[in-house]
Amino acid sequence: MGLRVYGMPMSPCTATVLALLVEKGLDYELVPVNVRAGQHKQPSFLALNPFGQIPALEDGDLQLFESRAITKYISYKYKDMGPDLMRSDPAEVAGVAAWMEAEAHHYHPAIGPLVFECIFKQMFGGAPDEAVVAAQAEKLGKVLDVYEETLSKRKYLAGDFYSLADLHHLPYTHYLMCTPHASLITSRKHVNAWWEDISSRPAWQKVYGVTRSTCTTRVLVCLEEKGVDYELVPVNMAAGAHKQQPFLSLNPFGQIPAFEDGDLKLFESRAISKYVAHRYKDIGTDLLGTSPAETYSVGVWLEVEAYQFNPAIQPMVGELLVKPSRGGTPDAALVPAQAAKLGKVLDVYEEVLAKRKYLAGDVLSLADLHHLPCAHYIMLTPYASLFASRKHMLKTMDLKFDSRGKRAQS
Amino acid sequence: MAVKVYGAAYASCARRVLACLIEKGVDFEIIPVDLLSGEQKKPEFLKLQPFGMVPVIQDGDFTLYESRAIIRCYAQKYADQGTDLLGKTLEERATVEQWLEVEGQNFNPHIYTLVLQLLYFPKMGVPQDEKLIRESEEKLGKVLDVYEERLSKSKYLGGDFFSLADLTHLPFTQYLVNDIGKEYLIKHREHVKRWWEDISNRPSWKKVLQL
């Protein structure tokens, strides 16, 4: 099919495009653009978007930029694939267009700077400007009063059907919900109901939700890195399949993932990935170190991930991402406490990574990979600043995220 | 040259390491670290172990920390010496690793909470959390039910041979059975009880308790 999106999943404008592609069931390739390294201002990217902003789209010979134009193009060209979010009836088409304009000219100017101050600024080392935050929150409140009125009369913005107009609100609102200003949404009954509906759509969950457990991803990252073929067998956790037979015969603790390789059955993600790394040592990247000393160093950092990093970060993923995707609210005391613990751990990592390229040495190892799943999810929250503010950590993560994390998450 | 073990011989994580070194017949020397005065958080010590935790080992110019990393290292390094603690095939090793992870991820959190609440907090004058104790006891019980099933079919956790997967349970289970009045969790489960009596009576463990 040849659809290529140039951008980064954590960027709201890129996420909008991805949400639509997933909604329509279209195959695409996500080409990472390293904004932190200034790749978006390089000639090769400027050829795609002379304004030097992500996302950009390639579809065969066509090159396009501006997320709202991209989504319109995709909706038009692939009208018959998946849901028709642009509609066909002229009145409905016009309604969708009107609310897309409303998003662009009323909603976005209010929420954009608010989200920037509260979330993105920290990722680049800045601190929120409280005056701006307060002013923007007030503006957004007024816009949402209009939305509240509209949504009291119909289910979605342009009518009783989900459309592009609703979709365009997803990414920025997602980020807003990670801040204390989430109350702007939750305090308005119809806006809140609308938000819960659109944000629980499976396509959206695939872009920003936790659709795959971090422990499962830990195993997949290893398999992907090694280039080993595997079959992913879904376990219906919502239906409690993990607590029943036949799953319990794979893991008597009733936890995912479980693993089968011929006659061997294994559970515990870190044991599985270690087995894969050993068994397929000669295929793909050697993740276990090339000398005994390196191997033991990898061993240390595997344990540091398991007993220092993970206990700090895992509850944050649970509170900030898993809980909201099930309609809950993050524990306001627990999250900062965990963030403080994680910060202390990352201070040590920062020192280590100032002196060498990867945790266990100068070569990527299983120890680095094990950090990817939880770190990936935290990068979608305001606590991304914990990583972004530590320059050596950031450099190492950029090296790892670009393709590895993407492969395991898709 | 003897391996230097920085820590305290009475501390659980150090004991995990010491048991392994004794099983493998590796000479060691314990260098005490004064945990009560916070020696492990001082700059000198942080050079050895940047997270400020014990135990740490020094073997020549080679430093290692995280007790479960240390035991894996020595079990591998001295594979041909002393007790085989890892298994002979890739599959045996994978099963040992699996139960090592179970100890760290499923068993340890609950037993650690119980030991902290029932053994250490009274000594430190910190009030106990009754609800947390009850919950941890219940959760540990559920984990031990799985162990009971496993040990009804397998002599040891990793298979039919004593391995790191069993050894790693020694330190905290010692406290559970002897010091905090929760021995019923082990003793009321026929196969877990058999397993505990076997592993805790190994000469290596008896030696560790005497250090």
Asked if B20 reaches chain A (Cβ–Cβ under 8 Å), the answer is: no
Please tell me chain A's helix, strand, coil percentages from 3-state DSSP, rounded to the nearest 5: 60, 5, 35
More confident call, A331 vs B48? B48
DSSP label at B56? Answer: E
Residues belonging to chain A with any Cβ–Cβ distance to chain B shorter than 8 Å? 252-253, 263-264, 266-272, 274-275, 278-279, 292-293, 295-296, 299-300, 302-304, 306-308, 345, 348, 351-352
Amino acid A400: pLDDT: 55
**ipTM score:** 0.93
Segment A60-79 mean pLDDT: 95
Amino acid A11: pLDDT: 87
Judged against a pLDDT cut of 60, whether residue A402 lies above it is answered with: no
Q: Where are the beta strands (DSSP E) in A220-315?
A: 258-261, 264-267
Asked if B162 and B87 count as a contact pair (C-beta separation under 8 A), the reply is no
Asked if B72 reaches chain A (Cβ–Cβ under 8 Å), the answer is: yes
Amino acid A236: pLDDT: 82
* Most confident listed range (A211-225, A255-269, A312-326): A255-269
Q: Where are the beta strands (DSSP E) in chain B?
A: 3-7, 28-32, 56-59, 62-65
Judged against a pLDDT cut of 70, whether residue A406 lies above it is answered with: no
- Does the distance separating the beta carbons of B98 and A271 come in below 8 Å? yes
Amino acid B55: pLDDT: 97
Judged against a pLDDT cut of 70, whether residue A125 lies above it is answered with: no
Amino acid A403: pLDDT: 47
Question: Parallel, antiparallel, or unpaired: how do β-strands A29-32 and A56-59 relate?
Answer: unpaired
Asked if A396 and A327 count as a contact pair (C-beta separation under 8 A), the reply is no
More confident call, B3 vs A395? B3
- Does the distance separating the beta carbons of B93 and A300 come in below 8 Å? no
* CB neighbours of residue A228 within 10 Å: 14
Segment A37-62 mean pLDDT: 93
Q: How confident is the model at residue A378 (pLDDT cuts 50, 70, 90)?
A: confident
Low pLDDT (below 70) residues in chain B: none
- Residue with the two structure tokens 């992500």: A54
CA distance B65 to chain A (A): 6
- Does the distance separating the beta carbons of A252 and B69 come in below 8 Å? no
Q: Where are the beta strands (DSSP E) in A142-268?
A: 258-261, 264-267
Asked if B195 and B166 count as a contact pair (C-beta separation under 8 A), the reply is yes
Q: What is the mean pLDDT of chain A?
A: 90
Per CB-CB distance under 8 Å, the chain B contacts of A289 are: none
Q: A312-339: buried (b, 16+ CB within 10 Å) or exposed (e) per residue?
A: bbbbbbbbbbbebeeeeebeeeebeebb
Q: How confident is the model at residue A126 (pLDDT cuts 50, 70, 90)?
A: confident
- Name the phi and psi angles at B5, rounded to 5: -110, 110
Amino acid A327: pLDDT: 64
Amino acid A239: pLDDT: 84
Judged against a pLDDT cut of 90, whether residue A9 lies above it is answered with: no
CA distance A282 to chain B (A): 14
Amino acid A393: pLDDT: 78
Q: Give chain B's radius of gyration (CA, Å).
A: 17
Q: Specify burial of residue A97 (Cβ count, 10 A radius: 0-12, 13-18, 19+).
A: middle
Please tell me which residue of chain A has the smallest CA distance to B107: A253
Please tell me which residue of chain B has the smallest CA distance to A300: B69
Per CB-CB distance under 8 Å, the chain B contacts of A308 are: 51
* CB neighbours of residue B9 within 10 Å: 15
- Does the distance separating the beta carbons of A252 and B51 come in below 8 Å? no
Amino acid A280: pLDDT: 94
- Does the distance separating the beta carbons of A348 and B106 come in below 8 Å? no
- Name the phi and psi angles at A211, rounded to 5: -95, -15
Beta-bridged to residue B159, according to DSSP, are B156
- Does the distance separating the beta carbons of A271 and B97 come in below 8 Å? yes
CA–CA separation, A116 and A118 (whole Å): 6
CA–CA separation, B196 and A270 (whole Å): 25
Per CB-CB distance under 8 Å, the chain B contacts of A269 are: 101
Amino acid A284: pLDDT: 86
Contacts of B150 (CB under 8 A, 6+ apart): A252, B157
CA–CA separation, B134 and B39 (whole Å): 33
**Phi-psi region for residue A262, left (φ > 0), alpha (ψ -120 to 50) or beta?**
left
Per CB-CB distance under 8 Å, the chain B contacts of A295 are: 76
Nearest Cα neighbor of B143 from B112, B108, B106, B111 is B106
Judged against a pLDDT cut of 70, whether residue A409 lies above it is answered with: no
Omega before A292 within 30 of 0, i.e. cis: no
Contacts of B72 (CB under 8 A, 6+ apart): A299, B86, B100, B164
- Name the phi and psi angles at A88, rounded to 5: -120, -40
Q: Which amino acid is at B186?
A: I
